[in-house]
Chain A
Amino acid sequence: MFKENLKYAFYTITHPMDGFYEIRHRGRGSVPLAVLFVLLFGICFSANRQYAGFVVNFVNPMAINSFAEVLSVFVLFLLFCVGNWSITCLMNGEGRFKDIVTVTGYAMLPMIFTFIIGIILSRFVVADEEAFYYILLAFGIVWFALLVITGIMTVHNFTVGKTLITMILTFVAMLIIIFLATLLYSLVGQVISFFVSIYNELMLRV
């Protein structure tokens, strides 16, 4: 089953139209596999920051925190899925949350490979050859973007124009979610500190 799903994921990244259609309508996608891809991409992303060759690596090694980086990839992924789901629900999208997760996860597959190859390549390049490394990374990112757009378009049965508008709105929705989350965070913090101060008053004064 896993092997078949994996094979299908590779089929999808080369044939996104058909691939994503079948994920939506014939249930050929796998959510755990998509999550696994996100995890792998997070690891590759962090590894790139740490292990990319000295010539192309401008990251302060003291500032690298692999756990935080993997986590932030996950948070962004989740934020995108939730944002997209909330927007497409309102815009008569046909896709389920499951499909959005699968599409986004599968779309990261090419980037996993370009990042790994990039890390290896970067350790061999010198100053004039940096371009190869950057082109490779850019190629992966463009592939990812195209996959996400076609994927979202296919699973929701949108036109291209509508998909692009959805993408912009998704971005806005992500910002709103972040805003609400921060608001909630600070409010909860205040409530907690309120109870803590009541507790302190009781313990120290009564």
Chain B
Amino acid sequence: MRKRLNRIVKAASVTAFAFALCASDLSVQTAFAGQNVPYETYTYDYYEDIKYTPAAYIPDGALTGAKIGCGDFASPQDLNTDEEGNVYIADTGNSRVVMLDSSMNLVKIIDSFDNNGTEDHFSSPQGVYKSSNGNLYIADSGRNRVVELDGDGRLVQIIENPQSDVLAEGYVFTPLKVAVDYADRVYVIAQNQFEGIMAFDEAGDFIGFTGTINVQISPWEIFWRRFSTREQRARQQLFIPTEFTGMEIDEDGFVYATNIDSEGEQSVRRLNPSGEDVIQKATTLSGDLTWRLSGTYSGASRIVDVVVRNQGIYSILDSSRGRIFTYDHEGNLLYIFGGLGSQEGTFTIPVAIDTIGERVLVLDSSKNLIDMFAPTRYGSLINQAVGLRYDGDEVQAVECWKEVLKLDSNFELAYTGIGKSYLAAGDNKEAMRCFKIGNNKQYYSIAWKRYRNEILKDNLNYILTVVIILAVLLVVWKKGLKKTVLKRRRERRLSHV
């Protein structure tokens, strides 16, 4: 009877616990999503565990072509903003480029241009870029050319049919994405071009490839290839580098380019003018750190586009799970938001990302609309703190970090930021505490070294005294020991006799 009662109590408590868990889960959800966002916002901690955070960005409307007043988009492929906040959309299916101003009102539709007296049209343009010199570059994929128009829509030049020894005979140039730096060098991501990004000079002549990704072959693959026959080898997967997917030029004129990395190691690169990758990595730069191996939502993140934001912050867009990952200039992951779905603020096939000020725009080529996101207090505080640190204003940054911690006490980067200010102020002990919570071994080590020296300096007298006393004791003890040992030996010898 008693046993049975016990069991009932146990069962009841288990159920109660389960309910409590569900209830707490719900309350947590609503607490996080005070704004009812249709996706989770999270980040990864030092141990690569997911830590859910308050929403950093919330959906702020979605714009269809009809709403803008230019007729619905048809699988648009690219979106670009210029310095004034004007938005350019490569409306691929309608073979046109749509220009909006910063408050998302229609400015003009570019679907034709005057090509030396004859009216010329685009055919499935997949990329668009407004350069800092005011000219608009359109990757006119269907006509195998890049068209450069000036601010009034007059033709400046057409880049087509690049000639070079490094290009294969009969190579067909199909540009997908285009970007232009301050020196008017044109960077083009072309279809089936695995050598890297194609660079053209300001006259439209092909210079060469930049940012070539080297093929990584694991020892295991080499081992297997050694044992396979010629026929087998021919049927195996070719070892070709991955293609680039999206581009952006930062304020220093460096190219940020994304590529698809099925290993999830590095999907974004920052290429200097000589084509070397100079991006800073804290861990991996490829979106999610963990993922399912099979089934829906599986595999590493497919990074399709990048946007360089203010003060070294950049965001990359993942099309496999519809997430946006934001990093600071050191490669620390700041926040992750977004998801796939049919609600407003979620995507079906996200293809391009850009920003106006702090607002994020994402182009969805399946829903044919632009999703807009606005930062919450949490998101803009992080942006602000990272920006202040980038500018070297650590003191101001600490105030922001403290505010961030009020909203999310798990944010490791904030502790490191605060720790740095303690370190600079000479409070090494407090700095150590912060770096430990922030899991920053490098700075903890610096603080600990200083604190250790402090302790040693303060207690030098005591330490030296103890050492001297110990030394004296040792000498005395040794002498005493010698005597007793000799005595014992003598005794033993006597006893033997």
Contacts and interface: CB of A to CB of B under 8 A. Distances in A.
Interface of A: 54-55, 60, 62-63, 124, 126-127
Assign chain B's interface to a size class. 10 to 19
Nearest to A53: B448
A55 B444 contact: yes
Interface of B: 47, 49, 436, 441-442, 444-446, 448-449, 452
Interface of B is mostly: helix
A60 B448 CA distance: 21
Given A55-B441, A55-B444, A126 B436 contact: no
B453 to A, nearest CB: 10
B47 A126 contact: no
A167 to B, nearest CB: 26
Centre residue among B444, B445, B452 by max chain A CB count within 10 A: B445
B436 A127 contact: no
B452 A54 contact: no
Contact of A54 (B47, B441, B446, B449): B441
B448 A55 contact: yes
Interface of A is mostly: loop
Nearest to A124: B452
17 contacts: A54-B441, A54-B444, A54-B448, A55-B444, A55-B445, A55-B448, A60-B47, A60-B49, A62-B47, A63-B47, A126-B445, A126-B446, A126-B448, A126-B449, A126-B452, A127-B442, A127-B446
B47 A127 contact: no
Contacts of B441: 54-55, 127
Nearest to A56: B441
A53 to B, nearest CB: 8
4 closest A-B pairs by CB = A127-B445, A60-B47, A126-B449, A126-B445
A60 B44 CA distance: 14
Contacts of A55: 441, 444-445, 448
Given A54-B448, A124-B452, A127-B449, 19 more contacts: A54-B436, A54-B441, A54-B444, A55-B441, A55-B444, A55-B445, A55-B448, A60-B47, A60-B49, A62-B47, A63-B47, A126-B445, A126-B446, A126-B448, A126-B449, A127-B441, A127-B442, A127-B445, A127-B446
Contacts of B442: 127
Contacts of B449: 126-127
Contacts of A63: 47
Contacts of B47: 60, 62-63
A54 B432 CA distance: 10
Nearest to B447: A126
A124 B452 CA distance: 8
A175 B441 CA distance: 37
Contacts of B446: 126-127
A126 B450 CA distance: 10
A55 B436 CA distance: 9
Contacts of B452: 124, 126
Contacts of B448: 54-55, 126
